[in-house]
Amino acid sequence: MKIACIGCGKTPSEIEEYVYNPEDDPDATHFVVENEGTYNASNGHFTCTDCYIRLGMPSSPHGWIAP
């Protein structure tokens, strides 16, 4: 399953806010899977901060995850 932002289509390793060591992609992906509140484990979708803002910062009483 490809893990990607639903707004820009980028993977975690392509988004600066998730990359701590550019040589180590699994760290960026692992960070999103473990820490990104918008991450949807059933399909690998999430939203990066810029796209989340562009989407109007959606929320839900139960926590919003990317569709």
CA atoms within 13 A on the CB side of 38: 21
Tell me the pLDDT band of 61, cut-offs 50, 70 and 90: very high
Calculate the alpha carbon distances from 16 to 42, 43, 61, 62, 67 in Å: 24, 22, 29, 28, 23
pTM > 0.95: yes or no:
no
- What is the per-residue pLDDT for 20? 78
Which spans in the chain are helix H?
25-35, 49-54
The pLDDT tens digits for 1-57 are 999 999 999 999 999 999 876 666 568 999 999 999 999 999 999 999 999 999 999
